[in-house]
Each structure stands twice: as structure tokens, then as C-alpha cells.
Structure 1
Amino acid sequence: MRSKPADLDESLLTSTLEAWGIEATGAAYAPVGFGDHHWIATGADGRRWFLTAATLPAEPDERGSRAAFRELGRALETAAALSATLGFVVAHVPDLDGGALLRPLAPRYALSVFPFVEGVTGDFGDEPSDQERAQVIDLLAELHATPPPPSAPLRPLEPAGRAALERALAETGRPWTGGPYAERARALLARHAGALRARLRDFDRGSRDLGPLVLTHGEPHPGNLLRHRGRCLLVDWDTVGLAVPERDLWLVARTPEDLARYAAATGRTPDPAALALYRLRWSLDDVAGYVAWFRAPHGHTRDAELSWQFLTGAVDDLADGVASAL
């Protein structure tokens, strides 16, 4: 995220890091990524660490937060297990008190710690070169062939935010009061409600048994690639889990040659319909996530501005998809 979380006392970072045996002399906020918050901490020994404060859902009875904490913990355990055999996995560091990979930081946050790795990352919308796409496809082929550890969660095809999106579509007839973008988001959804419902029906028509499941990263886009000493590493394994290969491939493959490279490495030919279905799923989940943001309490921040841009772009893309299909 571009802005520090207003409801998180940064002094909790240094005190919580003691569980990892890190005596932090400082922590600088890193305005990178979107969704979670990050810092770069420096220990008394001069070593640097990359910290992630994952945002958990706010629930009055905290059941949602506890479930999200457990699910995230399973994902981190999976990444840690993979890092023992796959050299491109940048995994979290276990703490010294029982080897936990995730610790509560505040009611709405959970802290994980990475070794700081020098390298260059991209952004979600970047277009990788042919050579870089080939490298990532090779990494995915290796990942997909790896036996999943017992901790690997199942990642269903159904969009995670579908229920929230359908609820929002049903409630565009009354005011939304989350903050400065709430009414704009309501008007946007109301204007495109028919198109969005049509895309949900398109998704339902395309849903089917897509074949054997493999271990997938979930978001292998340029923003989660770290270019380190001439090779690509994959970071941000929060979304790791069991699904069909197309869950990863739609984000990477751009040409028939890309798909042929994957098929040659794995013996499994990607399904064009499944690639399109996961592309649609991503857009629907994007809209659901940003709408939930604007229906909840929020302010006029840089992150809110970016979220509004992303939401309008995602809604426009989905509406255009309906128009072209018709």
C-alpha cells in the first residue's frame, strides 16, 4: 500500500520482532504492492528484513479474522515447505518461539518476516519480455509438478468475493456511507449492474470440472517477480494453493509459443476456455474487492484514489466484455 495504516501503532513492529530474535533499530515504511503493508527493518547487527502486515477482515465477533489468520498461516507453511526444494520460492522466516511464520500484530493485522533480498520488482500491469515470460513459465511448470505439502489449501474456482458483489448489486438502491468514494461506487455499480450480472452468468456457464489439480502460486504477475542476480524469484505466496494450471498461466502466457513451452515441459496442454474463465474470475474478484473497500469506512487517501481507478477500469472491462459478447 502507498500509505501507512492509520490504525496500526508502528511500535508494535519492533516489539513483535523480538519473537524472531530481531532487535530492530528502525523500520522504514515501504510503499509497495497493494493490499498489505510493508516495512524494511534493520537489526542491531545491520541485517535488513522485509516485513509484511497482512490486513485481516474486520468482523464484530472476530471469527472472520481468526479464519483468515489460519488460512494465511497454511499458505505460509506451504511456501516454507516448497522453499526447501524450489530455489525460486522466497519464503517467510519462522520465529524462535515454536517456529511460527505468522504472528498477530493488532486486531486487524498479522505480521510475517522475510529475509531482505536485493533485486528489482515490477508492477502488475508490466509486460515482461519473451525471455522473462519463458523463465516464469519454466518456474510454473516446476511448481505445478511438485507434490503438494499437506498444508496446501484448496483454491476453489468460484470467485471469493461473489457473495459480497451480489449483495452490493442488490443494494444500489439505497445510499452507501463508507466514505468519500462510497456514493461514486454505488452509482458506478448501478449504472453497470446489468453488465456485471451478465458476466456472472457467463462465469457460471463456463464453470465445469477443469481437470486434475496442481500446486499453483495464484498471482505470478510482474509485481510478484523479483529479478535477482539474473534469475526470477517468486514472492508473495499468500495465494498459493491447489487449482488447475490455468489459474497461473492466464497471467503469464501471451502467445501460442508460451503455451507450447508449458505443454512441452509438463505434457499438459493448457485449456483456452479455462484461461478465459480465470481471466473473468480475476476481474469479478477485483470489482468485488474494491466495492467492499468503498462500502467500508475509508478516507481520501492515495490508496483510495488508486482503488477508484482500478475499480472503474475493471468495471469498464467487464462491461466491454458483455458488449462484445453480444
Structure 2
Amino acid sequence: MSPSRVTYAPVGFGDYHWTVTDEDGRPWFATVSDLEHKEHCGQGAVAALKGLRQAMDTALTLRERDGLRFVVAPVAAADGGAVLPLDARYALTVFPHVPGRAGEFGQRLSEAERDQVLALLAELHGRTPPETTPPATAEPPGLHGIHEALAASEGPWPGGPFAEPARQLLREHEATLRARLAEFEALVARVRGRGAPLVVTHGEPHPGNLIQGEEGYLLVDWDTVGLALPERDLSLISADPAALARYTELTGRTPDPDALALYRLRWSLLDVAEFVEWFRGEHQRSEDTESAWKSFTGTLDHLAGRTDA
């Protein structure tokens, strides 16, 4: 592919994206990942590159081997791989440009829309996981950041304009955070003890990763794909097993309320860990940090029970 036009696309969060038109007029979507800040794929650039390759290879297999047409998988490079390292820190992945209406994170789905997504997840979870599917552990290393930040909350944080407000806010919510961390550990032990089978999961099937195409929903952003309990995906649709009845109808499996609670709590705690790391580090006041601060305070309020999920 030889690009004739490249346009930066300010979408998503974390990676960098461009729309690309090749010399034959075909559109593509190019993503450059910062491997130093892709912890869900691996700690550090080398491990993150390996994890990103596993994830993209898994998406390719699900689409090509299993025929899951809703999987928006990358295109393979000349060497057969889906991820091309640009240097020691950045890597490129190219996807077909997908026409359709993109959803938004936090968007409410109607009952009919929710059931469409549940049917999609039932089909995904029923597939034999590709050999490249990385494990998605219930206990992520990122949670250590909360413990470290709480231990360092007495002294000043000099990272930038949100550092001290973040430290003070964390101290105000210390009791809540410690209680929710203990709750998370108890849920992990309880759910793990039941020995439920693991399936291939997307990881973040929220409306922001859905595109409404001509033939139904398409699911993008497969860098979070992993072997886990089905509730890893289902928890982002609803915390109420009754609202997941379509999934039970299609699979014969009733979602575990404890596992749903585990993954919803995990999501919020990881958000806290990410924001704390951001605000403790060097940063400037910007549109991104303003948005992160709003999300940080909202997440802490939710964990304290002052807002709905």
C-alpha cells in the first residue's frame, strides 16, 4: 500500500490514529501505539509489543479462521504479521476503513441494541480460543499503583497542576479505596474458587468500541482481547443478570453475579490507578488532563456510592 493522502484522526484514547487513502483510492485506518504506555498488553515496550502482537493475531484468527465478520481485524503486513514495530517504542497496525455509525463511551443501549451485542458476545465466547489469545488475569498489576499512591499520600506530589489536588482527593477517599480493594480481593477468591471455564473475550465491548454497519454491529479495538470469564465482557453491558437474559438463552449459561461485580469493580479500580499514575507524573494542564481530572473525581464518587455506574 502506497498512501496518497494521510489525515490525523483525533479519536479514541491512548493510541494515535490516521485515516489513509492509498494510490488506488481505497481507505484505511492506521494506528500507532506507544508501547511504553500500553500496560494492558505488557509492562514495558518489549512485553507490550509481544502482547499487542498476540492480541492482533487473535483478532485475525477469529475473523479469518472462525468467520466472525463482526471482528474488525488488522491487515497482515508483507511478513504475515499484523503489527509493525517502527522503533523501540512505537508500533504500527493498519485496519480496513469501516463505514458505519460509531458509538460513544457511556452511551445507553436500548434493549434491542443490548440484545444484539449479547448475541455477538455469545458467538465470540463460543469459539475455541486461538492459541495466540493472551491471558487476562483478574488481578492486574496496575492495582499496585493505588497501594503505592496511598502509601505516598502524606507528602507533596510535585508532578504538575493536578498533582496536589489528586493527592488530597486520594486521602479523602482512602477508607473507601481500601475497603473496595479488600472487596475486590474477596470477589477474586470467591469467583476463582468456582472454577468456571474461560473463554476468549474482547475486554471492552462498550458502545465506544461498536460501529453500527449495514449488517449489524462491528466490534473494534481488539488490543484488550484475552482469555477470561465471560463476565469480563458481560459486565460492561449490565450488572443485572436479568438484563443479560438473551445471552443465557443463546448459551445456556447464567452470568455469575459475583463475577459481574468483580469485573465492574476491577474497571473502576484500574481507572483510579491510571489517573493516579498520570497525576503523580510530570504533566501540564491541557484538554486531556482536564478530562482525566473529571473522570478521576467521577470514578471516586462512584466507588464511594455517590453516583450510579
TM over 0.5: yes
CA distance in 1, matches of 2:282, 2:116: 41
Deviation at 1:256, TM superposition (A): 5.0
Runs (4+) of structure 1 moved beyond 4 Å? 254-257
Cα distance, 1:133 vs. partner?
0.7
Q: Which runs of structure 2 are paired with 1:24-173 in the superposition (5 Å)?
A: 24-57=3-36, 64-84=44-64, 85-96=67-78, 98-173=79-154
Letter in 1 for 2:282: P
Counterparts of 1:160-309 in structure 2 under 5 Å? 160-208=141-189, 209=192, 210=194, 211-253=196-238, 256-309=241-294
Equivalent position SS for 2:275: helix
For 2:221, give the aligned amino acid.
Answer: D
Taking the aligned partners of 1:69 and 1:42, their CA distance within structure 2 comes to: 26
The residue type paired with residue 217 of structure 1 is H
In the alignment, the residues of structure 2 paired with residue 76 and residue 250 of structure 1 have an alpha-carbon distance, to the nearest angstrom, of 23
* SS of equivalent residue, structure 1 residue 114: strand
- Is residue 137–residue 258 contact of structure 1 (8 Å, CA) maintained in 2? no
The letter of the residue matching 2:287 is R
Cα RMSD for the two superposed structures: 2.1
Identity, % of aligned pairs? 52
**Counterpart-to-counterpart distance in 2, 1:58 and 1:266:** 36
SS at match of 2:19: strand
Deviation at 1:80, TM superposition (A): 0.5
Q: Would the aligned equivalents of 2:241 and 2:257 in 1 still touch at CA under 8 Å?
A: no
Equivalent AA in structure 1 for residue 174 of structure 2 = A
Q: CA deviation at 1:39?
A: 1.1
* TM-score (normalizing by structure 1): 0.87
Between the aligned partners of 1:312 and 1:286, the Cα distance in structure 2 is 11
Amino acid at match of 1:113: V
1-side partners of 2:237 and 2:182: how far apart?
Answer: 26
Deviations 1:78-134 (A, max 9, x none): 0000011211100011111x1121122344322111011111111110001111111
- Unaligned ranges ≥5, structure 2: none
State whether residues 240 and 257 of structure 2, in contact with CA within 8 Å, keep that contact through their aligned partners in structure 1.
Answer: no
Residue 202 of structure 2 contacts residue 225 of structure 2 at CA under 8 Å; is this kept in 1? yes
Output the CA distance in 2 between the equivalents of 1:116 and 1:224.
Answer: 14
Q: Could you tell me how far apart the structure 2 residues matched to 1:120 and 1:146 are?
A: 27
User: Residues of 1 paired with 2:37 and 2:112: CA distance?
Assistant: 42
Residues 160, 285 of structure 1: 8 Å contact kept:
no
In structure 2, distance between residues paired with 1:77 and 1:230:
24
Deviations 1:205-253 (A, max 9, x none): 1113151101111000000001111410100001111111110001113
Aligned length: 299
Asked if 1:311 corresponds to 2:293, the answer is no
Letter in structure 2 aligned against 1:163: H
Gaps of 5+ in 1: 1-21
Shift of 1:320: 2.1
TM-score, L = length of structure 2 = 0.91
Q: Report the secondary structure of 1:320's partner residue.
A: coil
| Counterpart code for 2:103 | G
